[in-house]
Structure 1
Amino acid sequence: MEKSNQPIIIGVTGGSGSGKTTVSRAILNEFSGHSISLIEQDSYYKDQSNMSFEERLKTNYDHPLAFDTDLLVEHLNELIHYRGIDKPVYDYEAHTRSKNSVRQEPKEVIIMEGILVFADKRLRDLMDIKIYVDTEDDIRIIRRIKRDMEERGRTLDSVIKQYLSVVKPMYHEFIEPTKRYADIIIPSGGENQVAIDIMCTKIASVLENKLNYKNKLQD
Protein backbone atom coordinates (compact mmCIF):
# COMPACT_ATOMS: atom_id res chain seq x y z
CA MET A 1 0.00 0.00 0.00
CA GLU A 2 1.37 3.39 -0.97
CA LYS A 3 2.12 5.75 1.92
CA SER A 4 -0.14 8.44 0.46
CA ASN A 5 -3.06 5.99 0.59
CA GLN A 6 -2.47 5.09 4.24
CA PRO A 7 -3.84 6.73 7.39
CA ILE A 8 -1.95 9.76 8.68
CA ILE A 9 -0.09 9.00 11.92
CA ILE A 10 0.71 11.93 14.22
CA GLY A 11 3.16 11.25 17.05
CA VAL A 12 2.86 13.44 20.16
CA THR A 13 5.47 13.16 22.92
CA GLY A 14 6.99 15.04 25.85
CA GLY A 15 7.70 14.46 29.51
CA SER A 16 5.10 13.34 32.01
CA GLY A 17 2.85 16.31 32.76
CA SER A 18 4.09 18.27 29.74
CA GLY A 19 0.61 18.74 28.30
CA LYS A 20 0.90 16.22 25.46
CA THR A 21 -2.54 14.78 26.28
CA THR A 22 -4.02 18.30 26.17
CA VAL A 23 -2.39 18.87 22.77
CA SER A 24 -3.65 15.50 21.51
CA ARG A 25 -7.18 16.32 22.69
CA ALA A 26 -6.96 19.71 20.97
CA ILE A 27 -6.23 17.95 17.68
CA LEU A 28 -9.14 15.55 18.26
CA ASN A 29 -11.50 18.45 18.93
CA GLU A 30 -10.28 20.45 15.94
CA PHE A 31 -10.90 17.54 13.58
CA SER A 32 -13.90 16.01 15.34
CA GLY A 33 -15.80 15.79 12.05
CA HIS A 34 -13.09 13.66 10.49
CA SER A 35 -12.19 9.98 10.84
CA ILE A 36 -9.72 10.34 13.71
CA SER A 37 -8.64 8.32 16.77
CA LEU A 38 -6.18 8.46 19.66
CA ILE A 39 -3.87 5.67 20.80
CA GLU A 40 -2.08 6.14 24.13
CA GLN A 41 1.30 4.48 24.59
CA ASP A 42 0.33 3.96 28.26
CA SER A 43 -2.12 1.28 27.08
CA TYR A 44 0.89 -0.74 25.97
CA TYR A 45 2.69 -1.12 29.28
CA LYS A 46 3.76 -4.75 29.56
CA ASP A 47 1.54 -7.34 31.18
CA GLN A 48 2.95 -7.98 34.69
CA SER A 49 0.33 -10.42 35.93
CA ASN A 50 3.06 -13.03 36.49
CA MET A 51 4.70 -10.74 39.08
CA SER A 52 3.74 -10.01 42.67
CA PHE A 53 2.28 -6.59 43.48
CA GLU A 54 5.48 -5.69 45.35
CA GLU A 55 7.57 -6.57 42.27
CA ARG A 56 5.32 -4.47 40.04
CA LEU A 57 5.89 -1.44 42.27
CA LYS A 58 9.62 -1.67 41.52
CA THR A 59 9.12 -1.46 37.73
CA ASN A 60 10.64 1.58 36.05
CA TYR A 61 7.61 2.81 34.08
CA ASP A 62 9.60 5.60 32.42
CA HIS A 63 12.08 3.24 30.75
CA PRO A 64 11.59 2.04 27.15
CA LEU A 65 11.65 -1.59 28.34
CA ALA A 66 8.45 -1.01 30.36
CA PHE A 67 6.45 -0.91 27.13
CA ASP A 68 5.33 -3.72 24.85
CA THR A 69 6.55 -1.83 21.80
CA ASP A 70 6.44 -4.93 19.60
CA LEU A 71 2.68 -5.14 20.15
CA LEU A 72 2.22 -1.40 19.54
CA VAL A 73 4.12 -1.62 16.24
CA GLU A 74 2.06 -4.66 15.26
CA HIS A 75 -1.21 -2.88 16.06
CA LEU A 76 -0.22 0.27 14.17
CA ASN A 77 0.62 -1.79 11.11
CA GLU A 78 -2.79 -3.41 11.32
CA LEU A 79 -4.48 -0.01 11.50
CA ILE A 80 -2.36 1.31 8.63
CA HIS A 81 -3.77 -1.49 6.49
CA TYR A 82 -7.29 -0.62 7.67
CA ARG A 83 -7.72 -3.61 9.95
CA GLY A 84 -9.17 -3.19 13.45
CA ILE A 85 -7.34 -4.10 16.67
CA ASP A 86 -8.16 -4.98 20.29
CA LYS A 87 -6.27 -2.29 22.19
CA PRO A 88 -5.09 -3.33 25.67
CA VAL A 89 -6.24 -1.55 28.82
CA TYR A 90 -3.79 -0.81 31.63
CA ASP A 91 -4.85 -0.88 35.30
CA TYR A 92 -2.82 1.81 37.09
CA GLU A 93 -3.85 0.72 40.57
CA ALA A 94 -2.96 -2.94 40.01
CA HIS A 95 0.16 -1.98 38.00
CA THR A 96 -0.52 -4.49 35.26
CA ARG A 97 -2.56 -4.96 32.12
CA SER A 98 -6.29 -5.43 32.60
CA LYS A 99 -8.04 -8.51 31.22
CA ASN A 100 -10.26 -6.13 29.25
CA SER A 101 -9.51 -4.62 25.85
CA VAL A 102 -11.04 -1.92 23.67
CA ARG A 103 -11.92 -2.48 20.03
CA GLN A 104 -10.17 0.12 17.88
CA GLU A 105 -11.38 0.45 14.31
CA PRO A 106 -9.12 1.94 11.62
CA LYS A 107 -9.34 5.69 10.99
CA GLU A 108 -7.91 8.13 8.47
CA VAL A 109 -5.96 9.98 11.17
CA ILE A 110 -4.29 8.28 14.14
CA ILE A 111 -2.79 10.28 17.00
CA MET A 112 -0.18 8.27 18.89
CA GLU A 113 0.61 9.87 22.25
CA GLY A 114 3.14 8.88 24.91
CA ILE A 115 6.38 9.71 26.68
CA LEU A 116 8.55 7.42 24.56
CA VAL A 117 6.86 7.17 21.16
CA PHE A 118 9.93 8.75 19.51
CA ALA A 119 12.39 6.42 21.26
CA ASP A 120 11.88 3.50 18.89
CA LYS A 121 12.83 3.97 15.22
CA ARG A 122 10.08 1.56 14.12
CA LEU A 123 7.46 3.91 15.60
CA ARG A 124 9.10 7.06 14.24
CA ASP A 125 9.19 5.59 10.75
CA LEU A 126 5.40 5.12 10.85
CA MET A 127 4.74 8.78 11.71
CA ASP A 128 3.86 11.49 9.21
CA ILE A 129 4.09 14.33 11.74
CA LYS A 130 6.14 14.27 14.96
CA ILE A 131 5.24 16.76 17.73
CA TYR A 132 7.28 17.36 20.90
CA VAL A 133 5.54 19.17 23.78
CA ASP A 134 8.20 21.04 25.77
CA THR A 135 7.32 22.16 29.31
CA GLU A 136 9.49 23.16 32.29
CA ASP A 137 10.24 20.56 34.98
CA ASP A 138 8.50 22.38 37.86
CA ILE A 139 5.24 22.70 35.92
CA ARG A 140 5.37 19.05 34.92
CA ILE A 141 5.83 17.74 38.46
CA ILE A 142 2.92 19.85 39.77
CA ARG A 143 0.68 18.44 37.04
CA ARG A 144 1.88 14.89 37.74
CA ILE A 145 1.20 15.19 41.49
CA LYS A 146 -2.33 16.43 40.80
CA ARG A 147 -3.05 13.71 38.24
CA ASP A 148 -1.58 10.76 40.13
CA MET A 149 -3.32 11.65 43.40
CA GLU A 150 -6.72 12.40 41.84
CA GLU A 151 -6.86 9.79 39.07
CA ARG A 152 -4.49 6.99 40.05
CA GLY A 153 -4.89 6.73 43.82
CA ARG A 154 -1.28 7.60 44.67
CA THR A 155 -0.04 9.37 47.83
CA LEU A 156 1.90 12.63 47.71
CA ASP A 157 5.03 11.02 49.14
CA SER A 158 4.97 8.18 46.61
CA VAL A 159 4.57 10.57 43.67
CA ILE A 160 7.45 12.80 44.79
CA LYS A 161 9.70 9.82 45.51
CA GLN A 162 8.98 8.28 42.12
CA TYR A 163 9.54 11.59 40.34
CA LEU A 164 12.94 12.26 41.92
CA SER A 165 14.25 8.69 41.71
CA VAL A 166 12.89 7.61 38.33
CA VAL A 167 10.76 10.09 36.34
CA LYS A 168 13.19 13.02 36.24
CA PRO A 169 16.37 11.03 35.46
CA MET A 170 14.56 8.95 32.82
CA TYR A 171 13.21 12.12 31.23
CA HIS A 172 16.71 13.52 30.75
CA GLU A 173 18.13 10.16 29.61
CA PHE A 174 15.44 8.89 27.25
CA ILE A 175 12.70 11.46 26.54
CA GLU A 176 14.33 14.87 26.14
CA PRO A 177 16.96 13.54 23.66
CA THR A 178 14.13 12.51 21.28
CA LYS A 179 13.27 16.19 20.81
CA ARG A 180 15.70 16.19 17.88
CA TYR A 181 13.32 13.97 15.90
CA ALA A 182 10.39 16.41 16.16
CA ASP A 183 8.93 18.24 13.18
CA ILE A 184 7.13 20.64 15.53
CA ILE A 185 8.11 21.68 19.08
CA ILE A 186 5.35 23.21 21.21
CA PRO A 187 6.61 25.19 24.22
CA SER A 188 4.35 25.48 27.30
CA GLY A 189 2.24 22.48 26.35
CA GLY A 190 -1.51 22.79 25.95
CA GLU A 191 -1.51 26.45 26.98
CA ASN A 192 0.24 27.51 23.77
CA GLN A 193 -2.82 28.11 21.62
CA VAL A 194 -0.86 29.82 18.85
CA ALA A 195 1.36 26.77 18.35
CA ILE A 196 -1.67 24.45 18.47
CA ASP A 197 -3.43 26.53 15.80
CA ILE A 198 -0.35 26.41 13.54
CA MET A 199 -0.07 22.67 14.09
CA CYS A 200 -3.74 22.11 13.22
CA THR A 201 -3.31 24.18 10.04
CA LYS A 202 -0.46 21.87 9.00
CA ILE A 203 -2.53 18.77 9.74
CA ALA A 204 -5.42 20.19 7.72
CA SER A 205 -3.04 20.69 4.80
CA VAL A 206 -1.85 17.07 5.00
CA LEU A 207 -5.47 15.88 5.14
CA GLU A 208 -6.38 17.95 2.10
CA ASN A 209 -3.47 16.54 0.10
CA LYS A 210 -4.50 13.03 1.10
CA LEU A 211 -8.10 13.65 0.02
CA ASN A 212 -6.95 15.06 -3.32
CA TYR A 213 -4.80 11.98 -3.87
CA LYS A 214 -7.72 9.65 -3.16
CA ASN A 215 -9.95 11.61 -5.53
CA LYS A 216 -7.38 11.25 -8.30
CA LEU A 217 -7.31 7.49 -7.77
CA GLN A 218 -11.09 7.35 -8.15
CA ASP A 219 -11.17 9.46 -11.34
Structure 2
Amino acid sequence: KSNKSDLTEAQLVSESFTLARRPSDGSTDDILVIGVCGGSGSGKTTLSKAIIDDIGDNAVSYLSHDFYYKDLSHLSMEQRAEHNFDHPDALDTALLVSHLAKLKHGIACDIPMYDFSTHSRLATTQHMTPKSVILIEGILLFTDPELVKLMDIKVFVETPSDVRFIRRLKRDIRERGRTAESVIEQYMTTVRPMHLLFVEPSKRVADILVPVGVNAVALELILSRLRSFMNKSA
Protein backbone atom coordinates (compact mmCIF):
# COMPACT_ATOMS: atom_id res chain seq x y z
CA LYS A 1 0.00 0.00 0.00
CA SER A 2 1.43 3.39 -1.00
CA ASN A 3 1.99 6.15 1.52
CA LYS A 4 0.40 9.54 0.86
CA SER A 5 3.86 10.96 0.07
CA ASP A 6 4.27 8.39 -2.73
CA LEU A 7 1.05 9.35 -4.48
CA THR A 8 0.94 11.59 -7.51
CA GLU A 9 -0.70 15.01 -7.21
CA ALA A 10 -3.74 13.76 -9.13
CA GLN A 11 -4.12 10.79 -6.79
CA LEU A 12 -3.93 13.07 -3.77
CA VAL A 13 -6.81 15.16 -5.09
CA SER A 14 -8.82 12.06 -5.94
CA GLU A 15 -8.24 10.58 -2.49
CA SER A 16 -9.35 13.81 -0.83
CA PHE A 17 -12.67 13.82 -2.63
CA THR A 18 -13.28 10.15 -1.90
CA LEU A 19 -12.91 10.94 1.78
CA ALA A 20 -15.08 14.03 1.41
CA ARG A 21 -18.05 11.90 0.41
CA ARG A 22 -17.96 10.02 3.73
CA PRO A 23 -18.93 12.47 6.50
CA SER A 24 -18.34 11.01 9.95
CA ASP A 25 -19.42 13.95 12.11
CA GLY A 26 -23.10 14.06 11.26
CA SER A 27 -22.66 16.89 8.76
CA THR A 28 -24.34 16.88 5.38
CA ASP A 29 -22.51 15.32 2.45
CA ASP A 30 -23.97 18.09 0.26
CA ILE A 31 -21.46 20.60 1.67
CA LEU A 32 -17.72 20.30 1.11
CA VAL A 33 -15.08 22.21 3.08
CA ILE A 34 -11.75 23.00 1.44
CA GLY A 35 -8.94 24.54 3.50
CA VAL A 36 -6.23 26.59 1.81
CA CYS A 37 -3.15 27.13 3.99
CA GLY A 38 0.37 28.48 3.50
CA GLY A 39 2.73 31.18 4.68
CA SER A 40 1.92 34.88 4.56
CA GLY A 41 2.21 36.05 0.95
CA SER A 42 2.31 32.51 -0.44
CA GLY A 43 -0.59 33.05 -2.83
CA LYS A 44 -3.43 31.55 -0.77
CA THR A 45 -5.85 34.35 -1.57
CA THR A 46 -4.98 34.28 -5.28
CA LEU A 47 -5.61 30.54 -5.39
CA SER A 48 -8.84 30.92 -3.43
CA LYS A 49 -10.07 33.64 -5.80
CA ALA A 50 -9.22 31.47 -8.80
CA ILE A 51 -11.31 28.64 -7.34
CA ILE A 52 -14.23 30.97 -6.56
CA ASP A 53 -14.06 32.62 -10.00
CA ASP A 54 -14.35 29.23 -11.68
CA ILE A 55 -16.94 27.59 -9.43
CA GLY A 56 -18.92 30.82 -8.93
CA ASP A 57 -19.49 32.80 -5.75
CA ASN A 58 -23.10 31.63 -5.77
CA ALA A 59 -21.79 28.15 -4.92
CA VAL A 60 -18.92 29.05 -2.55
CA SER A 61 -18.99 30.45 0.98
CA TYR A 62 -15.63 32.11 1.75
CA LEU A 63 -14.14 32.27 5.24
CA SER A 64 -10.77 33.73 6.23
CA HIS A 65 -9.07 32.77 9.47
CA ASP A 66 -8.07 36.47 9.60
CA PHE A 67 -11.68 37.35 10.39
CA TYR A 68 -11.15 35.66 13.75
CA TYR A 69 -8.23 37.64 15.12
CA LYS A 70 -8.88 38.49 18.76
CA ASP A 71 -9.99 42.02 19.56
CA LEU A 72 -7.16 44.17 20.96
CA SER A 73 -9.12 47.36 21.55
CA HIS A 74 -8.39 47.10 25.28
CA LEU A 75 -4.67 47.63 24.56
CA SER A 76 -2.84 50.83 23.65
CA MET A 77 -1.91 51.30 19.99
CA GLU A 78 1.72 50.71 20.91
CA GLN A 79 0.86 47.41 22.60
CA ARG A 80 -1.28 46.36 19.65
CA ALA A 81 1.57 47.02 17.22
CA GLU A 82 3.86 44.79 19.29
CA HIS A 83 1.37 41.92 19.44
CA ASN A 84 2.38 38.59 17.87
CA PHE A 85 -0.25 38.06 15.17
CA ASP A 86 1.48 34.98 13.79
CA HIS A 87 0.98 32.77 16.85
CA PRO A 88 -2.09 30.51 17.04
CA ASP A 89 -3.13 32.18 20.31
CA ALA A 90 -3.74 35.45 18.42
CA LEU A 91 -6.80 33.91 16.79
CA ASP A 92 -10.17 32.92 18.21
CA THR A 93 -10.05 29.56 16.48
CA ALA A 94 -12.61 28.04 18.85
CA LEU A 95 -15.20 30.47 17.47
CA LEU A 96 -14.18 29.60 13.92
CA VAL A 97 -14.56 25.88 14.66
CA SER A 98 -18.03 26.55 16.06
CA HIS A 99 -19.07 28.59 13.03
CA LEU A 100 -17.62 26.15 10.50
CA ALA A 101 -19.33 23.20 12.19
CA LYS A 102 -22.67 25.01 11.99
CA LEU A 103 -22.15 25.99 8.35
CA LYS A 104 -21.23 22.42 7.50
CA HIS A 105 -24.52 21.33 9.06
CA GLY A 106 -26.40 23.87 6.94
CA ILE A 107 -26.83 26.51 9.65
CA ALA A 108 -26.21 30.20 8.86
CA CYS A 109 -23.79 32.20 11.05
CA ASP A 110 -22.82 35.81 11.76
CA ILE A 111 -19.13 36.05 10.94
CA PRO A 112 -16.90 38.61 12.74
CA MET A 113 -15.11 41.37 10.84
CA TYR A 114 -11.63 42.67 11.70
CA ASP A 115 -9.96 46.05 11.17
CA PHE A 116 -6.23 45.53 10.62
CA SER A 117 -5.47 49.25 10.80
CA THR A 118 -6.64 49.38 14.43
CA HIS A 119 -6.18 45.69 15.33
CA SER A 120 -9.74 45.50 16.60
CA ARG A 121 -12.92 43.59 15.85
CA LEU A 122 -15.69 45.62 14.28
CA ALA A 123 -19.13 45.89 15.86
CA THR A 124 -20.74 44.75 12.61
CA THR A 125 -20.79 41.15 11.41
CA GLN A 126 -21.28 39.42 8.08
CA HIS A 127 -24.26 37.07 7.81
CA MET A 128 -23.17 33.92 6.01
CA THR A 129 -25.34 31.12 4.68
CA PRO A 130 -23.72 27.80 3.75
CA LYS A 131 -23.34 26.96 0.07
CA SER A 132 -22.23 23.80 -1.74
CA VAL A 133 -18.56 24.57 -1.06
CA ILE A 134 -17.10 26.32 1.98
CA LEU A 135 -13.60 27.64 1.27
CA ILE A 136 -11.55 28.58 4.31
CA GLU A 137 -8.15 30.26 4.12
CA GLY A 138 -5.37 31.17 6.56
CA ILE A 139 -1.74 30.76 7.57
CA LEU A 140 -2.50 28.72 10.71
CA LEU A 141 -5.46 26.63 9.55
CA PHE A 142 -3.68 23.31 9.90
CA THR A 143 -2.33 23.91 13.42
CA ASP A 144 -5.65 23.23 15.14
CA PRO A 145 -6.72 19.54 15.14
CA GLU A 146 -10.42 20.32 15.68
CA LEU A 147 -10.44 22.70 12.73
CA VAL A 148 -8.60 20.21 10.52
CA LYS A 149 -11.22 17.55 11.28
CA LEU A 150 -13.89 19.73 9.66
CA MET A 151 -11.99 20.00 6.36
CA ASP A 152 -12.65 17.58 3.52
CA ILE A 153 -9.74 18.79 1.39
CA LYS A 154 -6.57 20.40 2.71
CA VAL A 155 -4.37 22.42 0.32
CA PHE A 156 -0.99 23.89 1.27
CA VAL A 157 0.55 26.56 -0.96
CA GLU A 158 4.36 26.47 -1.02
CA THR A 159 6.21 29.63 -2.11
CA PRO A 160 9.85 30.67 -1.51
CA SER A 161 10.36 32.87 1.56
CA ASP A 162 11.82 35.82 -0.36
CA VAL A 163 8.81 35.94 -2.68
CA ARG A 164 6.43 35.73 0.29
CA PHE A 165 8.20 38.57 2.10
CA ILE A 166 8.08 40.94 -0.89
CA ARG A 167 4.39 40.22 -1.41
CA ARG A 168 3.64 40.82 2.28
CA LEU A 169 5.61 44.06 2.28
CA LYS A 170 3.67 45.46 -0.68
CA ARG A 171 0.31 44.27 0.67
CA ASP A 172 0.71 45.65 4.19
CA ILE A 173 1.83 49.05 2.92
CA ARG A 174 -0.93 49.26 0.31
CA GLU A 175 -3.87 47.67 2.13
CA ARG A 176 -3.14 48.00 5.84
CA GLY A 177 -1.52 51.42 6.10
CA ARG A 178 1.79 50.06 7.39
CA THR A 179 5.28 51.53 6.98
CA ALA A 180 8.06 49.51 5.36
CA GLU A 181 10.09 49.66 8.58
CA SER A 182 7.27 48.24 10.69
CA VAL A 183 6.61 45.43 8.21
CA ILE A 184 10.28 44.44 8.12
CA GLU A 185 10.59 44.51 11.90
CA GLN A 186 7.47 42.39 12.32
CA TYR A 187 8.70 39.91 9.72
CA MET A 188 12.00 39.39 11.51
CA THR A 189 10.61 39.27 15.06
CA THR A 190 7.41 37.23 14.62
CA VAL A 191 6.43 36.34 11.04
CA ARG A 192 9.51 34.35 10.07
CA PRO A 193 10.03 32.60 13.46
CA MET A 194 6.34 31.65 13.70
CA HIS A 195 6.32 30.40 10.11
CA LEU A 196 9.19 28.04 10.89
CA LEU A 197 7.63 26.98 14.19
CA PHE A 198 3.98 26.56 13.20
CA VAL A 199 3.15 27.09 9.52
CA GLU A 200 5.84 25.07 7.77
CA PRO A 201 5.43 21.94 9.95
CA SER A 202 1.65 22.02 9.51
CA LYS A 203 1.91 21.18 5.80
CA ARG A 204 2.33 17.52 6.74
CA VAL A 205 -1.45 17.26 7.18
CA ALA A 206 -2.14 18.60 3.67
CA ASP A 207 -3.71 16.43 0.99
CA ILE A 208 -2.34 18.61 -1.80
CA LEU A 209 0.86 20.68 -2.03
CA VAL A 210 0.63 23.50 -4.58
CA PRO A 211 3.98 24.99 -5.68
CA VAL A 212 4.37 28.77 -6.00
CA GLY A 213 0.83 30.05 -5.59
CA VAL A 214 -1.49 29.43 -8.52
CA ASN A 215 -0.05 26.41 -10.29
CA ALA A 216 -2.17 25.80 -13.39
CA VAL A 217 -1.97 22.00 -13.24
CA ALA A 218 -2.79 21.77 -9.54
CA LEU A 219 -5.58 24.33 -9.89
CA GLU A 220 -7.23 22.39 -12.70
CA LEU A 221 -7.03 19.17 -10.69
CA ILE A 222 -8.75 20.85 -7.75
CA LEU A 223 -11.39 22.46 -9.95
CA SER A 224 -12.17 19.26 -11.84
CA ARG A 225 -12.84 17.43 -8.59
CA LEU A 226 -14.90 20.29 -7.21
CA ARG A 227 -17.05 20.27 -10.34
CA SER A 228 -17.46 16.51 -10.00
CA PHE A 229 -18.54 16.88 -6.37
CA MET A 230 -21.06 19.59 -7.22
CA ASN A 231 -22.51 17.59 -10.10
CA LYS A 232 -23.04 14.62 -7.78
CA SER A 233 -24.65 16.86 -5.17
CA ALA A 234 -26.98 18.54 -7.67
TM-score for both structures, normalised by structure 1 = 0.91
Could you say what secondary structure the match of 2:123 adopts? strand
**Change over 3 Å in CA distance of 1:91–1:5 after alignment to 2:** same
Are residue 8 (structure 1) and residue 32 (structure 2) matched? yes
Identify which range, 93-102 or 66-75, moves more after superposition: 93-102
Could you say what secondary structure the match of 1:139 adopts? helix
Which of 39, 53, 61 in structure 2 is aligned with 1:29? 53
Are residue 122 (structure 1) and residue 146 (structure 2) matched? yes
The CA deviation at 1:3 is: 4.3
Distance in 2 between residues matched to 1:114 and 1:71, nearest whole Å:
15
Conserved? CA contact 1:4–1:210, under 8 Å: no
Give 1:206's aligned residue. Answer: 229
Alignment gaps of 5+ in structure 1: 212-219
Identify which range, 87-96 or 49-58, moves more after superposition: 49-58
Cα deviation per residue 1:189-215 (whole Å; 9 max; x = unaligned)? Answer: 02x11211111112223333444xxxx
Alignment gaps of 5+ in structure 2: 1-24
The CA deviation at 1:34 is: 5.1
State the AA in 2 paired with 1:171: H
Conserved? CA contact 1:6–1:81, under 8 Å: no
Count of residue correspondences? 210
Distance in 1 between residues matched to 2:78 and 2:55, nearest whole Å:
43
Could you say what secondary structure the match of 1:39 adopts? strand
What is the CA RMSD across the aligned residues, in angstroms? 1.4
Distance in 1 between residues matched to 2:159 and 2:57, nearest whole Å:
30
The CA deviation at 1:33 is: 6.7
Identify which range, 142-151 or 28-37, moves more after superposition: 28-37
Could you say what secondary structure the match of 1:189 adopts? coil
Are residue 110 (structure 1) and residue 100 (structure 2) matched? no
Cα deviation per residue 1:63-83 (whole Å; 9 max; x = unaligned)? Answer: 000000111011111111211
Sequence identity (%): 47
The CA deviation at 1:115 is: 0.3
Give 1:143's aligned residue. Answer: 167
The CA deviation at 1:84 is: 1.1
Conserved? CA contact 1:56–1:96, under 8 Å: no
Q: Which of structure 1's runs of 4+ aligned residues deviate more than 3 A?
A: 1-4, 208-211
Are residue 160 (structure 1) and residue 155 (structure 2) matched? no
Identify which range, 69-78 or 129-138, moves more after superposition: 69-78
Identify which range, 32-41 or 12-21, moves more after superposition: 32-41
**Change over 3 Å in CA distance of 1:67–1:51 after alignment to 2:** same
Distance in 2 between residues matched to 1:207 and 1:127, nearest whole Å:
16
The CA deviation at 1:148 is: 0.3
TM-score for both structures, normalised by structure 2 = 0.86
State the AA in 1 paired with 2:72: Q
Cα deviation per residue 1:86-118 (whole Å; 9 max; x = unaligned)? Answer: 111110110111112111111111000000111
State the AA in 2 paired with 1:204: R
Distance in 1 between residues matched to 2:118 and 2:53, nearest whole Å:
31
Distance in 2 between residues matched to 1:11 and 1:180, nearest whole Å:
14
Conserved? CA contact 1:131–1:183, under 8 Å: yes
Are residue 65 (structure 1) and residue 92 (structure 2) matched? no
Are residue 185 (structure 1) and residue 212 (structure 2) matched? no
